[in-house]
Amino acid sequence: MSERLFGTDGIRGLPGAPPLDDRTLRAVGRALGERLRGDTERPRVLIGMDTRESGPHIARQLAAGLAAAGAQPVSAGVITTPGVACLVRDNDFAAGIMVSASHNPYTDNGVKLLSHAGMKFPDEFEESLERRIAEAAESRGDGEFPLEPDPQFEERYLEFLRSRVPEAAGAAVAPGARTVKTVSAVQAVPATLAVTVVRPRSAVSGVRLIVNLPKVSLCATNSSGLPPSITRATSTSLSGG
């Protein structure tokens, strides 16, 4: 493992091939768990993923490595990267892992590590972790860790979003609702706003609302992980289905 694992945004590649082969993934989990145990007796690590088909397997391999190191892996299921960052920071997790390759082709995947503060780890931390990963990859270990999503984290993140979505952005969210209605995008909001609403028992497993002022983009993601359509609008309701 002479090449660097961590790029500008985590580890990325083709699932099943280095660095996303099972052996390396377990080594990443184990190395992270061992490093975190230097600060906490039994560190909890939250794992989230996007809807790529390879996500659950990668998450289980990472979890197996974490468990082998004495850490406690917890699954948030399908969620955004900001969602993992938020939940890690607000729920006393030692770290977070996001299984996603962002805008890369759906055949790719990746692993992003987040600190307790919900931010990317410093380069120095990643460099020290790479040395541990190389050592952990030499140890034997097979199998996956049974990882079931805990629905409480989805609801906690949605509650956080309901409390933070600014009215000035034109996003109206009723208490307890699982629907977001965008009214308009205005110049008053200085930053991009991302909201994910998960609707169970629906053909659409997730709806991502990106307010990138002055435009609004809606991206409905199906269970295969492929975005079927992107619609630009300034007044759109997501209350159907």
Q: Output DSSP code: residue 4.
A: -
The closest alpha carbon to 33, from 55, 61, 10, belongs to 61
Q: What is the CATH number of the domain that holds 147?
A: 3.40.120.10
Mark whether 203 and 121 lie in a shared domain: no
Mark whether 136 and 175 lie in a shared domain: no
Structure tokens at 173: 């969210």
133: left (phi over 0), alpha (psi -120 to 50) or beta: alpha
- What local confidence, expressed as pLDDT, does residue 4 receive? 82
Mark whether 202 and 117 lie in a shared domain: no
Mark whether 26 and 114 lie in a shared domain: yes
Mark whether 142 and 175 lie in a shared domain: no
Does residue 62 lie in a domain region? yes
Tell me which residue has tokens 């609801």: 155
| Alpha-carbon span 136 to 26, nearest angstrom | 8
176: left (phi over 0), alpha (psi -120 to 50) or beta: left
- What local confidence, expressed as pLDDT, does residue 18 receive? 94
Q: Output DSSP code: residue 158.
A: H
Mark whether 33 and 139 lie in a shared domain: yes
Mark whether 110 and 20 lie in a shared domain: yes
Per the DSSP assignment, residues forming a β-bridge with 218 are 209, 231
Q: How many domains does the chain have?
A: 2
Mark whether 193 and 132 lie in a shared domain: no
| Alpha-carbon span 108 to 170, nearest angstrom | 34
- Residue-level pLDDT, tens digit, the chain, 241 residues: 456 889 888 999 999 999 999 999 999 999 999 999 988 889 999 999 999 999 999 999 999 999 999 999 999 999 999 999 999 999 989 999 999 998 889 899 999 999 999 999 999 999 999 999 988 887 766 677 889 999 999 889 988 887 876 654 444 445 554 444 443 332 222 233 344 333 333 333 344 444 433 333 333 333 333 333 333 332 233 323 3
Does residue 97 lie in a domain region? yes
Mark whether 28 and 126 lie in a shared domain: yes
Residues 56/49, Cβ–Cβ less than 8 Å: yes
Does residue 170 lie in a domain region? yes
Does residue 201 lie in a domain region? yes
Does residue 6 lie in a domain region? no
Between vectors from CA 193 to CA 166 and to CA 84, what angle results, nearest 5°? 110
Range of the structural domain that residue 48 is part of? 11-151
Cite the active site residues: 102
- What local confidence, expressed as pLDDT, does residue 159 receive? 87
Does residue 222 lie in a domain region? yes
- What local confidence, expressed as pLDDT, does residue 166 receive? 60
Does residue 208 lie in a domain region? yes
Mark whether 125 and 18 lie in a shared domain: yes
Does residue 157 lie in a domain region? no
Exposure b/e, 140-164, CB count within 10 A at least 16 = b: ebeebbebebeeebbebbbeebbee
Pick the last residue of a domain from 93, 125, 151: 151
Pick the last residue of a domain from 109, 126, 151: 151
- What local confidence, expressed as pLDDT, does residue 140 receive? 66
Mark whether 82 and 42 lie in a shared domain: yes
Per the DSSP assignment, residues forming a β-bridge with 209 are 195, 218
23: Cα separation from own chain's centroid: 21
Pick the last residue of a domain from 151, 178, 194: 151
Structure tokens at 126: 């990643």
Mark whether 31 and 123 lie in a shared domain: yes
